[in-house]
Structure 1
Amino acid sequence: MPPAGTPAAVNGRLKVCGTKLCNRYGKPVQLRGMSTHGTQWYGRCVTPGSLDALAGDWRADVLRVSTYVQEGGYETDPRKYTDLVHSLVEQATARGMYVIVDWHMLHPGDPYHNLDRAKTFFTEIAQRHRARTNLLYEIANEPNGVTWSRVRSYAEELIPVIRAQDPHSPVLVGTRAWSSLGVSEGADESEVVADPVRAANIMYTFHFYAYSHRDAYLAVLSRAADRLPVFVTEFGTQNYAGEGGDDFAMAQRYLDLMAAKKISWVNWNFSDDHRTGAVFKTGTCAAGGPWTGTAPLKPAGVWVRDRIRTPDDFPTS
């Protein structure tokens, strides 16, 4: 169980209520936290010390555990990567954080390619952790190159598999065109509004990178959040590859909108990758820290840590 007084203990099991994510008292909440990078590459960045810093120094209330399916991840050693998720769920819970179990499918973009693997993975995760009150399941990171109806059909096949083990935890459904609610492939949220997933206690994911994804994307997020339960499970202040310069002004516009509409968010990423979107300076993880304060952080890390720590100090629209 999460320790008393921590976010996961205070708010308890979350549930979707209308277009919001609500705590056990039915009050809308906004989670703010970080996503790991792919654990096949950057597992050394997710340690007891770094998680202590994330929960204590950063005051994050959610950790997204990104398990890549391809790219040297889960499919190469399902036992290893499933056990790693078990461990990180337990460690985050011990620090009072919520955990998003992210099935990080990316290439190929059709989630059906990994349906059987997903059923195996989520069955075990949900069975092992069904009694926990701090889990959310993200079943398809960034579907791309496929129709919304195919993504919806995948969700409707996988969600009952999870529900058979864990009837209560929210499920986060990826949207098409790299979880852009369709906008990156010329559509928008209306296709989801018109043809939603036939399941309860679910949310739809939206990803953005502020340097690349500007007013049109912001408008889609704003409209969608009035009609659908939306969770921003990945964002950055850089371009869509998590590289290049930081556009903190555009990112702040997103954060203001998300604060005003109680949209939960997770930043990409809690590693020391060479890209500007990784919060730690290169070499930090190999050296085993330091993890706290701003000294080990790149500019994007300093910015997002400030906004996780002191959300009320920043304006809301």
Structure 2
Amino acid sequence: MSLYFSQWVGQYWNQDVLVSSQNQWNSNVVRAAMAVDGGGYVNDSVSNYAKIKAVIEGAINIGMYVIVDWHITSNLSYTPQAIQFFSNISKTYGSYPHIIYEIWNEPVVTWDVIVNYANQVIPVIRANDPNNIIIVGTPDGSSGPWFPPSQRLNYNNVVYTLHIYEDVFGGVPQQQGRAQATTAMSNGIPIFVTEYGTGSVWPNETLEFGETELWYEYFDQYFISHTNWCMSDVPGTMSAIKAGSTSYNTPAAQIGAIVANSAYFTEDGIFVNQRYQNLDLTSPSAPHIVWSSQYWIGQTVDKTANPWNSTWQDGTATNYGNWNNPSQGPNNGNCTNQVCAIIMYSATSTSANPGTWDAVAQISGYYPAICQINAIY
């Protein structure tokens, strides 16, 4: 689930809400939408930074992923503040695997402008955090990475965002949007849907559950991670909690109880909650079945003359089973001009129902790359 803008409804930015999201909403990731202007970080860095620290540390405490989202559209004058912000976050929390960086929420600029911005921000993050996922916004309000694969960014573990609303999906029909997303992924451009709504925004919010169901089927088919907008009680049909259920002074524990109580859910909240409750996030305790584009479990992936392999680490109550240190594979996970492995694991333990890939487990290579994909069910 995505939280609302940090400068508004900040009472939801606490660990109690995360616990309820994890337990009653079956969520394994929270998106913290750090507002930039309009009372956000550039106007009040102290209180807004305190809010995101509370969410990050709460997520770490309970074993939840957290997307640190620089929630802005097109004001490039705040690039120095973005660099400072992500430098501080990555320096403080970059050693935790829970952290995901979303460096630009919804750019309304061309791809070349986004690339220039990313080339200023990403190196600052990578100086402190070499491996955690970085999500890059896309043109037309993050309506999708429809650029040629040769134009993708030359950094490891970078994915591209796609935001979905019934009426603002880059001006194209929803079905065409799914076709474009399929083409992008087939060209090696990974997608993370960091924000989607269950209906239309303009001129009035209306719910479109039928179209959202089609997107859910698409997410499941292509193993796309997704976060819903939004966990809040602001007026509007796409808030998960009924308007006015809390105030800024409502105690955190009480808000957590409200988030856990379906009596407070909106129509949108009921729909999204049912979807998430039906997802199987069980951690596999062993590598039951492995599919690979070339290699199988126990085989060696060659890096020139030096063999490399990895061992399985069982999952725990809060962490999925995974290969030990997959990013420390050939050339530290960089695939340029050689064969290496991209390790992925699913949230289920059967081949009949592969479930949803956990995007955080994707160890990507630099472009261009010759990579194999190992998938653990």
TM range (shorter): 0.7 to 0.9
The residue aligned with 1:49 is: 16
1:207-286 matches, within 5 Å, as: 207-210=163-166, 212-213=168-169, 214-227=174-187, 228-240=189-201, 244-286=205-247
1:71 to 20, 35, 38: 38
Shift of 1:80: 2.0
Shift of 1:212: 4.9
Aligned amino acid, residue 57 of structure 1: Q
- Aligned residue for 1:75, secondary structure, equals coil
In the alignment, the residues of structure 2 paired with residue 77 and residue 259 of structure 1 have an alpha-carbon distance, to the nearest angstrom, of: 40
CA pair 165-297 structure 1, distance change in 2 beyond 3 A: same
- Aligned residue for 1:137, secondary structure, equals strand
The residue aligned with 1:26 is: none
1:4-153 matches, within 5 Å, as: 34-106=1-73, 109-110=74-75, 112-144=76-108, 146-153=109-116
Aligned amino acid, residue 239 of structure 2: A
- Aligned residue for 2:199, secondary structure, equals coil
Structure with bigger gyration radius: 2
Aligned amino acid, residue 88 of structure 1: V
Q: Do the aligned partners of 1:139 and 1:174 also contact (CA within 8 Å) in 2?
A: yes
Shift of 1:113: 2.3
- Aligned residue for 1:39, secondary structure, equals coil
Matched, 1:302 2:270: yes
Q: Do the aligned partners of 1:243 and 1:277 also contact (CA within 8 Å) in 2?
A: no
Q: Do the aligned partners of 2:31 and 2:68 also contact (CA within 8 Å) in 1?
A: yes
- TM-score under structure 2 normalisation? 0.68
Q: Do the aligned partners of 1:242 and 1:277 also contact (CA within 8 Å) in 2?
A: no
Aligned residues, how many? 272
Q: Compare relative contact order (CA 8 Å, sep 6+) and give the higher one, 1 or 2.
A: 1
Q: Do the aligned partners of 1:148 and 1:192 also contact (CA within 8 Å) in 2?
A: no
Q: Do the aligned partners of 1:211 and 1:247 also contact (CA within 8 Å) in 2?
A: no
Aligned amino acid, residue 141 of structure 1: N
In the alignment, the residues of structure 2 paired with residue 152 and residue 138 of structure 1 have an alpha-carbon distance, to the nearest angstrom, of: 14
In the alignment, the residues of structure 1 paired with residue 259 and residue 265 of structure 2 have an alpha-carbon distance, to the nearest angstrom, of: 9
CA pair 250-197 structure 1, distance change in 2 beyond 3 A: same
Shift of 1:178: 0.2
1:200 to 156, 165, 175: 156
Shift of 1:242: 10
- Render the CA deviation track for 1:241-272: whole Å, top value 9, x for unaligned: 59522111101111111111111000001100
The residue aligned with 2:302 is: none
Q: Do the aligned partners of 1:222 and 1:257 also contact (CA within 8 Å) in 2?
A: no
Q: Percent identity?
A: 30
In the alignment, the residues of structure 1 paired with residue 223 and residue 98 of structure 2 have an alpha-carbon distance, to the nearest angstrom, of: 18
Q: Do the aligned partners of 1:209 and 1:242 also contact (CA within 8 Å) in 2?
A: no
Q: Do the aligned partners of 2:30 and 2:67 also contact (CA within 8 Å) in 1?
A: yes
Q: Do the aligned partners of 1:156 and 1:198 also contact (CA within 8 Å) in 2?
A: no
CA pair 237-254 structure 1, distance change in 2 beyond 3 A: same
- Aligned residue for 2:38, secondary structure, equals coil
Aligned CA-pair RMSD: 2.2
- Render the CA deviation track for 1:91-141: whole Å, top value 9, x for unaligned: 1121221000000012xx15x322100110001111110221111000000
In the alignment, the residues of structure 1 paired with residue 35 and residue 118 of structure 2 have an alpha-carbon distance, to the nearest angstrom, of: 18
CA pair 127-312 structure 1, distance change in 2 beyond 3 A: closer
Q: Do the aligned partners of 1:242 and 1:276 also contact (CA within 8 Å) in 2?
A: no
The residue aligned with 1:162 is: 125
Shift of 1:168: 1.3
5+ residue gaps, structure 1, are 1-33, 183-188
- The runs of 4+ residues in structure 1 deviating greater than 4 Å are none
5+ residue gaps, structure 2, are 282-352, 356-377
Shift of 1:45: 2.3
